């Protein structure tokens, strides 16, 4: 049964049109000239209880706007949204009882209060019964490992600690659905990995439905089976992550720092080589050669100082989907062939 139902939603923002110069900006204060910015365009999807879905797209794609419509913060310009059978913006309080929300860019905790006091305040706001609160707090402090900083004021927490604290706060009232808007933004690789593992654990332990917004492909690869890709306000893909992985993002980049100018043999699977000083960016097709095979070929006669393998970013995968939409079935033809 679907707990999140989105049907043909759009969101338009009216932006006052600016005129040039000082007099122009004064007159634009009074004029009713507006420009329409289409942030979300005719998006539909259904999500079932317990699913973990990645909602991915480049910056400005409309991810946050969609999350805000799902959480009742924004009213759609057109279309219908139902969360747990309720229209979020019409039933904000009821909706709040069913959902947890984490915005990576903003905390819902009180900056100057020790963490535990923020949790107490949330217990009061959400009217969480004492025993349920105690049980959840005990379970979640252990799972998210926040005990060591539970008496620390929020402002003194590292970003990774704060994100775990925010996650805990969003789950205290036992919501059935968790909305996360860029929960890994700004985190280092280790803290990111930690958050991803915790999300999987929460989903598994509590069967919480998770909608995870991100512009980082790896967030989704590590957590979700299903992904919805949006670009410029439109949905361009909704389906399995494996299908995308198998059909797109075929090219990888190996970045190698050499100790001296390297001798690079002719290799078929290599599609391009760029160099900047002794740093070489070698693009290759992962189905034809593995990174480790390539590394051993290139380090055989050369002194290697450092290396990284770069995964393709969401932008390049979206470009590929536009160029070759027929590779996967769930790509909407109308959107993809533009
Ligand atoms: N309150 C607003 N007023 C005007 N334009 C907005 C507003 N919020 C978002 N937008 C615009 O809508 C588009 C989608 O934004 P957003 O949903 O924040 O994207 P994302 O979260 O995918 O980065 C962007 O072009 C953004 O500038
Ligand atoms: Mg956003």
Q: Would you say residue 26 has pLDDT above 70?
A: no
Q: What is the CB-side half-sphere exposure of residue 215 using CA atoms within 13 A? A: 14
- Give the residue, out of 62, 71, 184, with the most ligand 1 atoms within 8 A of its beta carbon, to mutate for a pocket test: 62
Output 128-136 pairs: Cβ under 8 A, ≥24 positions apart: 128/172, 128/173, 132/174, 133/172, 136/171, 136/172, 136/173, 136/174
The residue whose C-alpha atom lies closest to atom 1 belonging to ligand 1 is 13
What's residue 335's pLDDT?
45
Give CA angle at 260 (288, 308), nearest 5°: 45
Summarize pLDDT for 211-270 with one digit per residue, the tens: 999 988 889 988 999 999 999 999 999 998 888 877 887 888 999 999 999 999 999 999
What's residue 277's pLDDT?
95
Task: Answer yes or no: pTM beyond 0.85.
Answer: no
pLDDT > 90: percent of the chain: 70
Torsion over CA: 331, 333, 335, 338 (sign): positive
What's residue 336's pLDDT?
42
CB 64 within 8 A of CB 214: no
Residue 139, both tokens: 């379970």
Q: Would you say residue 198 has pLDDT above 60?
A: yes
From the alpha carbon of 58, which atom of ligand 1 is closest? 22
- Distance, CA 60 to ligand 1 centroid (Å)? 6
From the alpha carbon of 233, which atom of ligand 1 is closest? 14
Give CA angle at 44 (104, 227), nearest 5°: 50
Q: Would you say residue 338 has pLDDT above 50?
A: no
If residue 2 lies in a helix (H) or strand (E), which one and from where to where?
A: strand 2-16
From the alpha carbon of 15, which atom of ligand 1 is closest? 4
If residue 223 lies in a helix (H) or strand (E), which one and from where to where?
A: helix 217-223
Summarize pLDDT for 130-150 with one digit per residue, the tens: 999 999 999 999 999 999 999
What's residue 262's pLDDT?
94
Q: Which domains are delineated in the chain?
A: 2-244 (3.40.50.300), 250-311 (3.30.70)
- Distance, CA 67 to ligand 2 centroid (Å)? 9
The residue whose C-alpha atom lies closest to atom 14 belonging to ligand 1 is 62
CB-based burial label for 150 (10 Å; 0-12, 13-18, 19+): middle
What's residue 222's pLDDT?
87
| Ligand positioned closest to the Cα atom of 104 | 2
Measure the CA–CA gap between 240 and 237, rounded to whole angstroms: 9
- Distance, CA 283 to ligand 2 centroid (Å)? 30
The residue whose C-alpha atom lies closest to atom 11 belonging to ligand 1 is 39
pLDDT > 70: percent of the chain: 93
Q: Could you tell me which residues are beta bridge partners of residue 253?
A: 283, 310
Instruction: Catalogue the E-assigned strands of 104-207.
Output: 177-181
Nearest CA-CA partner of 44 in 94, 3, 6, 77: 6
What's residue 211's pLDDT?
97
From residue 262, how far is each of 28, 290, 304 by CA, in Å?
Answer: 60, 20, 9
Summarize pLDDT for 77-136 with one digit per residue, the tens: 999 999 999 999 998 888 889 999 999 999 999 999 999 999 999 999 999 999 999 999
Whole-angstrom distance between the N-terminal and C-terminal Cα of the chain? 34
- Give the residue, out of 38, 55, 60, 75, with the most ligand 1 atoms within 8 A of its beta carbon, to mutate for a pocket test: 60
63 Cβ inside 6 Å of ligand 1: yes
């Amino acid at each position: 049964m679907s707990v999140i139902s989105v049907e043909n939603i759009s969101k338009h923002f009216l932006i006052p049109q600016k005129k040039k110069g000082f007099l122009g900006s004064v007159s634009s204060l009074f004029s009713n000239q507006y420009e329409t910015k289409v942030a979300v365009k005719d998006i539909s999807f259904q999500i079932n209880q317990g699913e973990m879905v990645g909602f991915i797209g480049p910056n400005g794609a409309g991810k946050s706007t969609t999350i805000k419509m799902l959480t009742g913060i924004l009213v759609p310009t057109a279309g219908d949204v139902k969360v747990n059978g309720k229209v979020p913006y019409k039933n904000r309080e009821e909706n709040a009882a069913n959902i947890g929300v984490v915005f990576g860019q903003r905390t819902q905790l009180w900056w100057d209060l020790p963490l535990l006091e923020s949790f107490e305040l949330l217990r009061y706001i959400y009217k969480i019964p004492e025993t349920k609160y105690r049980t959840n707090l005990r379970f979640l402090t252990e799972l998210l490992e926040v005990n060591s900083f539970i008496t620390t004021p929020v402002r003194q927490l590292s970003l990774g600690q704060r994100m775990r604290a925010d996650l805990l706060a969003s789950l205290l009232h036992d919501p059935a659905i968790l909305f996360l808007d860029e929960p890994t933004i700004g985190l280092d690789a280790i803290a990111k990995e930690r958050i991803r593992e915790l999300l999987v654990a929460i989903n598994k332990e509590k069967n919480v439905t998770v909608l995870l917004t991100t512009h980082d492909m790896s967030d989704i690869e590590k957590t979700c089976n299903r992904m919805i890709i949006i670009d410029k306000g439109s949905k361009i893909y909704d389906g399995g992550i494996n299908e995308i992985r198998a059909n797109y993002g075929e090219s990888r980049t190996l970045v190698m720092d050499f100790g001296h100018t390297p001798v690079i043999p002719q290799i078929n699977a290599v599609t391009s080589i760029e160099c900047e000083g002794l740093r070489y960016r070698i693009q290759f097709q992962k189905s034809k050669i593995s990174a480790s095979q390539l590394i051993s070929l290139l380090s055989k006669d050369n002194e290697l100082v450092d290396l990284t393998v770069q995964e393709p970013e969401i932008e390049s995968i979206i470009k590929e989907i536009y160029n070759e939409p027929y590779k996967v079935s769930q790509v909407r033809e109308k959107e993809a062939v533009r």
